[in-house]
Amino acid sequence: MLSTLPKKILCYTGPVFTGNDEVSWQRTAGALPRRMHRSDKKMKTISSIPHLRKNQSLRQVFNPIRSLTPETLTRHLDAFHAGNLRGAVLLWEAIERRDDVLQGVVSKRKKSISRLQWDILTVDASDEAIAQQEALRFFYNSLCCVNAVDSNERGGFSLLVKQMMDAVGKKYAVHEIVYKIHDNLRLGEGCNALVSAEFRFVPLEFFENRTGRLRFLVDDGDRDGVALEEGAWLTTVGDGLMEACSIAYLFKHLPLRDWLIYCERNGMPGVKGVTDAMPGTPQWEVALRAVEAFGAEFSALMTAGCDLQAIDLSSRGILPYPALIDRMDRAMVALWCGSDLATFSRASGVGASLQADERVLLQADDAAMVSETLNAQVDRYVLGHLFGSEPIRAYLRIRPIQQRDVLRELEICERLIRLGVEISKQDLRERFGVGLKHCSCELSCSAAEESVDRERSEK
């Protein structure tokens, strides 16, 4: 991976870097290009979240679902749009954990992006671009991701992407970035030491948005938060699907509760016993025990000649509860997956192919959202620290699964080149998601040009 760096910029000795393994770097006599000198801006290396704040979150016992009604839900949603996020966020987290359908579709949406391949692409094949590419590759390979409240949740880049995808449901996802400076690892003379980072996923209820920008609440009782330092926080913005899902959840569980009550009252018939024995006699007691032994919630024992008229509250037609519950389940699946799941589709299977197409669109959009967020808030800051005012020539790109006919597109590109149409190397790398190395790029492109020239001469 590092062997393609120009020797005048970097000399690498030791094992190949794979994840969190230590590598060995050393300076060479040659210096970096003049424009690539480092920035003296200091990076944040200590967390600013008070330890007491974490303990307060762990001690809190609050169940927002227990008192959920249309009125309370409306108050939570109105407060969220006014910038007071806590009530709605706690409610959405509880709904995600407890609803059987929602927990499945949310998890699938997040994992479909976190498992994708990623690469560091460059805008050209210059020495500066290759140096920036290796710096970013080191950064993302060595980063650590942890939950700020539950330290048992730890991982790497895949966990970071999964946590960033929380913004699709809750509108925002926030990470605190704590950088680690590797003083013994440098790209060359005049360049800052390479950096890695720990991304701390901070619960959204720790923030308020009353001014239009997220601010950190040092204490639960605070009304105004502390502004987030640029470069020290990663803020992801998504669709906020949980607002609509919380409404669907409410109108799903209200009829579900009524359905359970209906089944409890009408699911088992009552037992009516008739005997000629007089109340209080041994024969009466025997008949009474026999009636009670059936286990029905309603039972009655009467003497001959006594009658009891029951009021039948059961429905004679189709119950309305299942249709409404199924409607809300379909709504939540459609919000997260773009269309009905095949398991929820009708017998005719209409809509199954549409769902597959929409999943491709959602995956591509999610991958672009995560990539662009990291490009704007992390890549620029890290490269600015390492290379100063040097233009950004490398960037991270998450590659969605390609559903198109790649071979067909390659054939079209080859034919266009034969016809003399100029196609830049960068356009080809972007289109096919290929991060070419410096040497391999030059060799492959030269070979392609020679092949085209040879075909033209033969004609």
Mind listing the pLDDT tens digit for each residue in 178-222?
Answer: 999 888 887 766 566 889 999 999 999 999 999 999 999 988 788
Cβ atoms < 10 Å from Cβ of 330: 17
Distance CA 19, CA 142 (A): 6
Rounded to 5°, the CA angle 448-450-456 comes to: 105
44-56: per-residue pLDDT in tens? 777 877 766 666 6
Region 143-170: mean pLDDT is 94
Of 50-64, 184-198, 365-379, highest mean pLDDT: 365-379
Taking CA atoms, 210 is separated from 81, 174, 273, in Å, by 9, 16, 67
Q: Are 170 and 240 in contact (CB under 8 A)?
A: yes
Give the long-range contacts of residues 218-224, CB within 8 A, separation 24 or more.
218/50, 218/53, 219/53, 219/56, 220/56, 220/60, 220/86
Tokens representing 334? 């459609």
Q: Which pLDDT score, from 0 to 100, does residue 228 have?
A: 93
CB neighbourhood size of 294 (10 A): 12
Greater confidence (158 vs 455) lies with 158
> Is residue 31 scored above 80 in pLDDT?
no
- Exposed, middle or buried, 244 (CB in 10 Å: 0-12/13-18/19+)? middle
Quote the mean pLDDT of the chain.
77
Per cent of the chain over pLDDT 70 is: 68
Question: What kind and span of H or E run contains 101?
Answer: helix 100-114
| Reported confidence tier of residue 70, pLDDT bands at 50, 70, 90 | very high
Render pLDDT for 414-447 as a digit per residue (tens, 0 to 9).
888 888 887 777 667 666 666 544 434 443 444 4
Residues 332 and 105 sit within 8 Å (Cβ to Cβ): yes
Residue written as token pair 């009655």: 300
Helices 86-98 and 242-266, packing angle to 10 deg: 50
CA–CA–CA angle 73, 79, 84 (5° rounding)? 130
Distance of CA 380 to the CA centre of its chain: 22
The single residue listed with the structure tokens 């970035």 is 177
Token pair for 230: 């640029």
Distances (CA, A) of 353 to 103, 336, 338, 400: 23, 16, 12, 19
Task: Look at residue 98 and tell me whether its pLDDT is greater than 60.
Answer: yes
Which of 61-70, 86-95, 267-276 has the highest average model confidence (pLDDT)? 86-95
Task: State the average pLDDT over residues 406-417.
Answer: 78
Q: Which two three-digit tokens encode residue 352?
A: 């199954």
Q: What CA–CA distances, in Å, run from 77 to 87, 225, 229, 427?
A: 8, 20, 28, 44
Give the whole-number percent of the chain exceeding pLDDT 90: 42
Q: Which of 155, 190, 143 is nearest to 38 (CA)?
A: 190
Torsion angle of alpha carbons 353, 356, 360, 363, nearest 10°? 150
The whole-number pLDDT of residue 298 equals 61
pLDDT at 18 over 50: no
Q: Is the pLDDT of residue 68 over 80?
A: yes
Q: Does residue 370 carry a pLDDT above 50?
A: yes
pLDDT beyond 70 at 124: yes
Residue 304 confidence (pLDDT): 65
Which range has the worst mean pLDDT, 9-18, 32-41, 207-216, 256-265? 9-18
Contact 177, 44 (CB under 8 A): yes
**Cβ neighbours for 17, distance < 8 A, ≥ 6 positions apart:** 1, 2, 23, 138, 141, 142
Eight-state DSSP code of residue 228:
P
Distance between CA atoms of 262 and 208, rounded to whole angstroms? 43
**CA–CA dist 77, 309 (Å, integer):** 49
Which DSSP symbol is given to 219? S
Site of tokens 């080809």: 428
Q: Looking at per-residue confidence, does 177 or 268 come out higher?
A: 177
Long-range interactions of 376-379: CB distance < 8 A, separation 24+: 377/231, 377/234, 377/235, 378/177, 378/234, 379/136
Element (H, E) at 198: strand 193-202
